[in-house]
Amino acid sequence: MVQITLPDGSRREFPGPVTVAEVAQSIGAGLARAALGGKVAFDGEQPRLVDTSFRIERDARLGIVTPKDPDGLELIRHSTAHLLAYAVKSLFPEAQVTIGPVIDNGFYYDFSYKRPFTPEDLEAIEKKMAELARKDEPVTREEWKRDDAVAFFNGIGEKYKAEIIASIPSNETISLYREGDFIDLCRGPHVPSTGKLKVFKLMKVAGAYWRGDSKNEMLQRIYGTAWASKEEQDAYLHMLAEAEKRDHRKLGRELDFFHFQDEAPGLIFWHPKGWQLWQQVEQYMRAVYRDNGYQEVKGPQILDLSLWKKTGHWDNYRENMFTTESENRVYGLKPMNCPGHVQIFNSSLHSYRDLPLRYGEFGQCHRNEPSGSLHGMMRVRGFTQDDGHIFCTEAQMQDECADFTALLQKVYRDFGFEEVLYKVATRPGKRIGDDATWDAAEQALMDSLRRTGCEFEISPGEGAFYGPKIEYTLKDAIGRHWQCGTLQVDFSMPVRLGAEYVDADDQRRPPVMLHRAILGSLERFIGMLMENHAGAMPAWLSPVQAVVCCISDPSAAYAAEITQTLKKQGFRVESDLRGEKITYKIREHSLQKVPYILVVGDKERDAGSVAVRARGGLDLGTLALDDFVARLAQEVAQRRDIGRPEQVS
């Protein structure tokens, strides 16, 4: 007898070995039709994803995987990648297939072919995929000996597949999956038939080197997306369209904020308007430091290599560090600020009465990121962190963690982010420190989140080598997630760098060091802000808060006077005194996403008023200048738009 335990705790018994599909059928015909795979676990083993044809030969726990499950979506995407390869081979028999994994929101497959695939080719391939799916051909697993599989793929001209298989140890069994006339190497699992694949779309073609090595042949990578329902795919495609409109690189050019060029890969040229936006963000964070007990410091850009070796960064991070030499000494251009802050702490002896001691720095860092990973302001080689380090006692650690989370939540709200996701990344396999220390650090982070009312997930093994961390992730206006803030507990670096304080018993002890950042990289955060607001920055952040436009030459002097009056009150205001039509001026400044356009003519000059248009085409009518000043001042003070519809203009 084989006993199967289901997720609800119920049990079913079978007279002998049973497949996942047969278990599903025993539960109900509807579940059997929906089944894509199974999640099976034997005693003492972790659950694993298997085909519906998988035979269970001893007692096990089993969950039936359907399209509603995250694992079901992965099966759909993995199988759709194979369907793509099947369609390409059907249309272009000379093409060679290589690898085709699942990625976020979809899949890709790499091909070797004599000419580039065109947009018309993609349309034909997608049409062929739909045709093959409608045939509802069974997807079956076969097990081969390695050498037989190598010979087979060499025999059909698939040299890349043969090379992959030849690299597998000879004693391992090779699994192949067959659907119709197509057979492919794969560990699986897959959906039971091509008819389960109903919702997919091919997105683009890109280049990719065979096995990621630039010395190898350039292949063609076809990207696609696949979903369990058309509604989910439509929502995803809508999000992509919105993301394209909001792309910070495009907005940066249109709004004249910044640019990139080949002479400085991964580095940013800030223009006056963009730098004004930067300054608003930095000055806000500087006030956060000041109001929450941080002392602002500044460490050097380069430090002797010996220091980076002491901290462990050279052993664990050297490939991402820039180095330079002078007078036979090697220096590392800092990729992070923490070692410098420890040196500042070590410059004098501290008592327990001095703790907690909070340092904050707008620290400029450089990391030697691969050129292929660079992406606008989201992934750069030079960036500035709102970096801080808290030196405290172990007894103070939990309070400091809880206070930091509460502070971070307020900052995110001020920038317009209401939804935050929390993850606690725990000890990795490769780490320093004993288990008791890790237990205390992980518990402090979890308890601090509970105290602030935060639900959180655990990311097992994702902590840094020196300590666990909380990762704070924001959700933007179109549903994307951005990991920004971090809080890391570190018992190790203070010991390695000789940091000490004198406790109440006159004994020297190493402090606990909390590494914390709210925004993370300012460059990346500003890019996120631009995309979240579609470039229409709230008035408190906008580089230009208002433009004063004269209707005609006689009102130009009044427009200039109002501009100066507003500037003296601390607002960022420009005037447009050109002899252009007022409709042209309004349109031009609307495209620049200026929060307010003030129009003045003879009537406004004589009344000492302004005609006010808010961003998004909202006509506020004619206001006394003092009334407009009060409105703008309130909007800036409250860090929110007042009475303005949300609109991408």
Selecting among 39, 77, 431, 469, the annotated active-site residue is 469
Q: Is 533 one of the annotated binding-site residues?
A: no
Q: Is 238 one of the annotated binding-site residues?
A: no
Give the rounded distance of the alpha carbon of 265 from its chain centre.
21
Give strand pairing partners of 571.
Answer: none
Distance from C-alpha of 583 to C-alpha of 629, rounded to nearest angstrom = 24
Residue 59: both structure tokens together? 């007692």
b/e burial code for range 246-268 (CB count within 10 A of at least 16 → b):
bbbbebbeebebbebeeeeebeb
Active-site residue, 515 included: yes
Distance from C-alpha of 104 to C-alpha of 77, rounded to nearest angstrom = 10
Residue 448: both structure tokens together? 């601090």
Scanning 226-337, the segments in alpha helix (DSSP H) are 230-246, 248-254, 272-291, 305-311, 313-317
Q: Is 481 one of the annotated binding-site residues?
A: no
Active-site residue, 469 included: yes
Cis peptide before 189 (omega within 30 of 0): yes
Of the candidates 84, 100, 113, 101, which has an alpha carbon nearest to the alpha carbon of residue 217?
Answer: 113
Pairing of strands 60-65, 2-5: parallel
Give strand pairing partners of 106.
Answer: 103
Of the candidates 429, 415, 536, which has an alpha carbon nearest to the alpha carbon of residue 484?
Answer: 415
Any idea what DSSP says for residue 217?
-
Distance from C-alpha of 390 to C-alpha of 351, rounded to nearest angstrom = 15
Active-site residue, 343 included: no
Active-site residue, 283 included: no
Distance from C-alpha of 84 to C-alpha of 100, rounded to nearest angstrom = 9
Selecting among 220, 385, 488, 592, the annotated active-site residue is 385
Selecting among 338, 392, 549, 550, the annotated active-site residue is 338
Cα-based distances in Å from 144 to 55, 191, 316, 625: 18, 20, 40, 82
Tokens 């959700």 correspond to 475
Selecting among 221, 358, 366, 389, the annotated active-site residue is 389
Selecting among 358, 366, 515, 613, the annotated active-site residue is 515
Selecting among 39, 82, 367, 589, the annotated active-site residue is 367
| Residue type (1 letter), 346 | N
Active-site residue, 481 included: no
Selecting among 387, 476, 576, 641, the annotated active-site residue is 387
Q: Detail the residues annotated as belonging to a binding site for Zn(2+).
A: 338, 389, 515
Q: Detail the residues annotated as belonging to a binding site.
A: 338, 389, 515
Catalytic residue numbers, as ranges: 338, 367, 385, 387, 389, 469, 515
